[in-house]
Structure 1
């Protein structure tokens, strides 16, 4: 089976985050099962005049140089004439076209091309498609988004709320058949829970300060300011604690976070590590004691799954798509945070609970088991292959029906 995954953007610093990581993970898993999967995307931020990479994390990719034609709209305003010109040929060569859809100048045109070429089309929205009051977005909906949502062979959702939000874009008309597909990650060895947090470490007399980690894009939507304002609460009990902020600085926000920490008198405790390669991310996760993702709106964070995959307890907002699973498993702490409030103290108290050695060890075991049992990429790929098979069969049946 030839599968074409289409996502908007790949950069050396992984600025686009989740959708690209999901496309790569799924493609790698499909290829491990003998399927021919390739990822098509824009490439941006690569230095030098040489060609763009042909492989990312072991997955064949076709990257086209991004052109920033509408800078005001950021990632939604980039495109590639070469990619769009070749879309028909790439789509016709695939048995399934899997588009990681957003309102942009790449994924939506390719999805429309798949419809025009009558290829089986699977859409995955990653929580990015819901009703909007923005006029430009509404125009995009009229010009093509509603059409692909209605005529695709399948629309994948992470949560029931995402399914309802996406269906509302085309209401009162029905959306294409919906299937649930969660995110998954590769299984990892569980990290060592080393002695008492903030106390005796692995060796006699060794003292290890607790480390609290944030690894995600540094942008307003992820609320890194709540991570920073949690620092004073934690330092009251653990004055030697270290806080690491890591990830692409897509909104030039990292310096603001460092300045905020200095203003709170805790600048000495905060490090900005910048964007990290995947291996570096896993290494940081293994050496930390608690992972924090303060996002109030977070459909199904891959970063949280990766933290739990090594047995790192997590602190997340109750509104996140993974939060019910975290709470039920006891894999960390779920806080009642709000988008219009400073949630730092709530997060700080949750971190303090998880720095208790017994609580940390219990949450670590629960987090690792949760991923092993429910969120491995192998299980997700098995589900996806079943969806593909059904989609191809149903699509072929519809193509054989006589025109009305």
Structure 2
């Protein structure tokens, strides 16, 4: 059976976070192949290409937002499947979209994509949802580490495949040719300073606070160097408070979350990107930084670290060690030849993970599920 239509239930464009970016790239690139793609998402979502987006009403309060989206998305999926006909339904993020499609009345096979923080919830307070999610036909993990966690939760290993996220390598490699000073002007950052960048939501598992004591160790030896946080979240005030207490407040800046089209310029503006997460299923920002020519220091707990050679593609660190982080930052900033060595070799990693390849893997998976024996899926 040829694949002609896909229904995605997912957080979506224009939010520049990992799940939203991943789902948007998959949907738009599938639509370019001629597949009819329809997306059920939140009220603020916007169409990004040739796909159709249905925006669900939700209550804008922390727990109620997810609950109301799950209920409305489940009903909408049932109606669309009945009225329009759907070949495959693909849900992104298990505890909302995954529950929605599991509850929906669907004849089409259901593919559930896990992104990381949803699996953490399923290992904890939301573990009772696992039996409901076992009704899906196939499961996608964005990294091998995450696939192992799914198997440990009881999801059938033979129905789990790994499809990592990627980058728009062609577009980002052109930004790599822009001088850092020009990129900084484009996003309003100091032109002649050295910039250590943290770019993620300011939430506990992204571990933004650990950079402050690490930075404190460096301020005397690294003049004209700034620690820049790009993102928003509940830890913003605590970051500023601790920076002040450590007497580095004048060298620490918080800038708001930027639109998706500005992300590459912020990454290019940095002398080094630091990703100190205590949990990170994959690491799209790591690949994007590599593609724009910015050296990366990344947590050993990030899924992407599995495909990196330490001190060759990036510096891989223990995110709980301020000293290890400080030494890695100092090594990059004080040794331009090391930074250049890492940047040149990291490009080979970014080139291997493109959104085109991600979309092709989904196309192959969906075709396999529909019964075309000529398409093989590596599980």
TM-score (norm 2): 0.84
Instruction: Give the distance between the partners of 2:123 and 2:26, measured in 1 at CA.
Output: 33
Confirm or deny: 8 A CA contact 1:130 1:165 kept in the other structure.
no
Residue 118 in 1 paired to residue 107 in 2?
Answer: yes
Residues 58, 335 of structure 1: alpha-carbon distance in 2 compared, 3 angstrom cutoff: farther
Instruction: Give the distance between the partners of 2:296 and 2:39, measured in 1 at CA.
Output: 30
Question: Is the partner of 1:324 in helix, strand or coil?
Answer: helix
Residues 329, 386 of structure 1: alpha-carbon distance in 2 compared, 3 angstrom cutoff: farther
Instruction: Give the distance between the partners of 1:300 and 1:20, measured in 2 at CA.
Output: 14
Residue 87 in 1 paired to residue 77 in 2?
Answer: yes
Q: How far is 1:245 from its partner?
A: 0.3
Q: How does 1:279-358 map to 2 (within 5 A)?
A: 279-327=261-309, 330-338=312-320, 343-355=321-333, 356-358=335-337
Confirm or deny: 8 A CA contact 1:40 1:63 kept in the other structure.
yes
Instruction: Give the distance between the partners of 2:163 and 2:370, measured in 1 at CA.
Output: 17
Q: How far is 1:297 from its partner?
A: 1.1
Confirm or deny: 8 A CA contact 1:158 1:183 kept in the other structure.
yes
Question: Is the partner of 1:303 in helix, strand or coil?
Answer: helix
Confirm or deny: 8 A CA contact 2:272 2:295 kept in the other structure.
yes
Instruction: Give the distance between the partners of 1:315 and 1:349, measured in 2 at CA.
Output: 11
Residue of structure 1 aligned with 2:100, choices 109, 114, 126? 109
Q: How far is 1:95 from its partner?
A: 1.4
Q: How far is 1:303 from its partner?
A: 1.4
Confirm or deny: 8 A CA contact 1:100 1:107 kept in the other structure.
yes
Unpaired runs of 5+ residues, structure 2, are 182-190, 374-379
TM-score (norm 1): 0.79
Instruction: Give the distance between the partners of 2:311 and 2:368, measured in 1 at CA.
Output: 32
Query: RMSD in angstroms over aligned alpha carbons?
Result: 2.7
Match of 1:401 in 2: none
Q: Please give the per-residue CA displacement for 1:234-262, whole angstroms capped at 9, x wherever unaligned.
A: 3232121012101132xx21111011111
Instruction: Give the distance between the partners of 1:82 and 1:112, measured in 2 at CA.
Output: 11
Unpaired runs of 5+ residues, structure 1, are 44-51, 198-206, 396-404
Instruction: Give the distance between the partners of 2:108 and 2:368, measured in 1 at CA.
Output: 14
Residues 80, 178 of structure 1: alpha-carbon distance in 2 compared, 3 angstrom cutoff: closer
Q: How does 1:250-269 map to 2 (within 5 A)?
A: 252-269=234-251
Instruction: Give the distance between the partners of 1:11 and 1:256, measured in 2 at CA.
Output: 29
Instruction: Give the distance between the partners of 1:214 and 1:57, measured in 2 at CA.
Output: 30
Match of 1:137 in 2: 126
Residue 364 in 1 paired to residue 343 in 2?
Answer: yes
Residues 139, 379 of structure 1: alpha-carbon distance in 2 compared, 3 angstrom cutoff: closer
Confirm or deny: 8 A CA contact 2:6 2:90 kept in the other structure.
yes
Q: How far is 1:59 from its partner?
A: 5.2
Instruction: Give the distance between the partners of 1:236 and 1:59, measured in 2 at CA.
Output: 52
Instruction: Give the distance between the partners of 2:138 and 2:290, measured in 1 at CA.
Output: 29
Question: Is the partner of 1:319 in helix, strand or coil?
Answer: coil
How many residues align structurally?
A: 354
Q: How far is 1:33 from its partner?
A: 2.4
Question: Is the partner of 1:83 in helix, strand or coil?
Answer: helix
Confirm or deny: 8 A CA contact 2:14 2:46 kept in the other structure.
no
Residues 59, 345 of structure 1: alpha-carbon distance in 2 compared, 3 angstrom cutoff: farther
Q: How does 1:45-64 map to 2 (within 5 A)?
A: 52=44, 54-56=46-48, 60-64=52-56
Instruction: Give the distance between the partners of 1:129 and 1:80, measured in 2 at CA.
Output: 17
Q: Please give the per-residue CA displacement for 1:312-333, whole angstroms capped at 9, x wherever unaligned.
A: 1111111210113232682221
Q: How does 1:30-41 map to 2 (within 5 A)?
A: 30-41=30-41
Question: Is the partner of 1:322 in helix, strand or coil?
Answer: helix
Residue 96 in 1 paired to residue 88 in 2?
Answer: yes
